[in-house]
Chains A and B, each alone.
Chain A
Amino acid sequence: MDIKMKYKRENNSNSRSSIFGRIWFSLRMFLFSVLSFGPMPAHIAFIMDGNRRYSKKHNVKQGSGHNVGFSALISTLQYCYELGVKYVTVYAFSIDNFKRKPEEVQSLMNLLTEKIDEMLEETSVVKEYGIRVNFWGDLNLLTEPVRLAAKKAMAVTAENTGPVLSVCVAYTSTNEILHAVQESCAEKNNSMAVGYSNGRINSSEGLLSVADLEQHFYSASFPEPDIVVRTSGETRLSNFLLWQTSFSHLQNPIALWPEFSLRYLVWSILQYQKAYPSLQEQRIRSKKTH
């Protein structure tokens, strides 16, 4: 990123134009330089769990928990990009979440539309960093306004060369696998229509390879996540990126998602740096044997 441009941004932004803002900014930059002395993740994935628990804990409406959660996402994104993390993937809404009460699903959908539109505004973090936004999942399951907003966001940011934010909505990992199987099967079918007469299939052995399937994953051309953070201390992946996380460091900080702040992010990178040599060794070993 152009440093001068960034300097200008820092100066323009109200929160940082004060002397404290500037000191805080440079302290943070110093901390990030220290962290960058060790191995840094290129891709971090977040399961943003705990918005509802946060509302309950603080005795506020459920919607406001999600709102605070969104602010936590924006500041986390900013820190990640300041750290030089190129890819951030977040789990916003699972296909299984459609089983929630209709009113809650509807209000989440409204919130999602609103926040996607907000992200495209002139002053947003997306504009500042030139972020490319992707949506992963079966978008057909979404309501019309969200789907349109998501498609618009992808189209508008498609040419951006900055960091990449992937938002998983109406997503589950098994659905992604299934989607890849369907797509590669359709591709096979088309190639047979062109190549062979009436597709002579004698055996199913090796008809589709792992590489064929992986081409059709939403995450094709993305590096695998180095860290998967699930907040609120839960230890399951809840059907999120199961295929891509073979060598990812799985972390489960106790904080609820709206409480996830810089110190948790820094701690999580320190943990990753501790685990890095052994994870790297496993990765190399798996390549050797397969």
Chain B
Amino acid sequence: MAFASVNPGDDFFWIYSPNLRGFQESIIWRFTLGLCWYLLHLFVTLVHAGSSLIHALVCYSISSGLLRKYWNLDLSNLKYLGIVVDSEQAKNTVKIKRLLHWLSSTGVKNVILYDMEGVLKKSIGSDHSSSDSKNTHFEGMVIELLSFSDNKEGVAKAASFLCSKYLKSNPAVSDRVEPVFTEADMDDALMAVGCGGPEPDLLLVYGPARCHLGFPAWRMRYTEIIHMGSLKTMKYGAILKAIYDFSKKHQNYGT
């Protein structure tokens, strides 16, 4: 456990009864703390269960067509949709294909599929091979496949590219001024080394927790990140809801 600097329990007893300091190291004290901790987490689990039940009901009524506002989704702000899948779950190609089928039926045109270990690059990429290596097509959608190596390693490649250009620009070391690059330079360099691309407007995370798992940092400045739960329990209604909520979102980009 990373917790070492301060033990709050120390203060608690120091103030009221310094003699009891030995007690807090005792089994009874540890047991009491542990019991309270488990009770607290039981409460958290119950709250989660309650909210996921409500969520499931909402998703069911959306996918069964009960709620009229979800019939026609406004996709004008959703140019690129990103999907992050936990690599372990991404091995289930049947589920991934069903997910892609659902996405195409919502009318989304561009999808960026990401998993850390590059499982999808192998399974989806090789299935639907097309002329250019990075993109593939699926039921009328263009799909870009990304993995962990497209994030930091991609930036390092682009940095090397920029740096070598800078070093070559002026052959005499002493004549060189401090390097100054702009974000546009970086965009171009990323494109040149094959790690560039558009930023997804909405990122759906299929995994155990709300975490982007190393999605390319340069490509998610203002991306809305939504946790969709595990791929096993994915729901069509949940996708419709996420896209609908996104279409109602207002971003002011810092202003």
Contacts and interface: CB of A to CB of B under 8 A. Distances in A.
Interface of A: 1, 3, 6-7, 10, 22, 25-26, 29-30, 32-42, 81-84, 86, 94-100, 172-175, 177-178, 180-182, 184-186, 188-189, 192-193, 198-199, 201, 203-210, 212-213, 235-239, 242-243, 245-251, 270-271, 273-275, 278-279, 282, 285-286, 289-290
Contacts of A97: 254-255
A242 B181 contact: no
Contacts of A192: 167, 173
A204 B159 CA distance: 9
Contacts of B97: none
Contacts of B208: 275, 278-279
A185 B222 contact: no
B14 A185 contact: no
Interface stretch (B30-38, B98-106, B127-135): B30-38
Of B11, B34, B116, which is in contact with the most chain A CB atoms at under 10 Å from its CB? B11
Of B6, B33, B36, B153, which is in contact with the most chain A CB atoms at under 10 Å from its CB? B6
Given A174-B218, A238-B222, A7 B253 contact: no
B76 to A, nearest CB: 18
Contacts of B34: 37
A121 B221 CA distance: 36
Contacts of A245: 211-212
22 contacts: A38-B37, A84-B7, A97-B254, A173-B221, A174-B183, A182-B179, A184-B163, A185-B179, A188-B163, A189-B173, A192-B167, A199-B167, A201-B167, A207-B159, A236-B225, A237-B223, A242-B221, A246-B211, A246-B212, A249-B211, A275-B209, A278-B208
A98 B181 CA distance: 20
Contact of A34 (B36, B44, B173, B211): B36
Given A205-B160, A275-B208, A243 B152 contact: yes
Contacts of A42: 2
Contacts of B227: 250
B5 A86 contact: yes
Contacts of A235: 224-226
Interface in B105-125: 116-117
A243 B217 contact: yes
B172 interface: yes
B251 A236 contact: yes
B86 to A, nearest CB: 7
Which secondary structure characterizes the binding site on chain A?
helix
B236 interface: no
A290 B211 contact: no
Interface residues of B, number: 80
Given A189-B173, A204-B161, 8 more contacts: A1-B5, A84-B8, A96-B255, A185-B179, A204-B163, A236-B251, A246-B214, A275-B211
A210 B150 CA distance: 12
Contacts of B162: 181, 185
B221 A40 contact: no
Contacts of B173: 189, 192-193, 198-199
A181 B163 contact: yes
Contacts of A181: 155, 158-159, 162-163, 181, 186
Given A29-B12, A235-B224, A270 B159 contact: no
B179 A186 contact: yes
Contacts of B16: 26
Given A238-B254, A290-B149, A29 B1 contact: no
Given A242-B220, A250-B212, A286-B148, A177 B155 contact: yes
B110 to A, nearest CB: 19
A201 to B, nearest CB: 5
A90 B2 CA distance: 21
Contacts of B3: 36, 39-40, 84
Given A96-B253, A210-B152, A279-B211, A236 B12 contact: no
Contacts of B181: 178, 181-182, 185
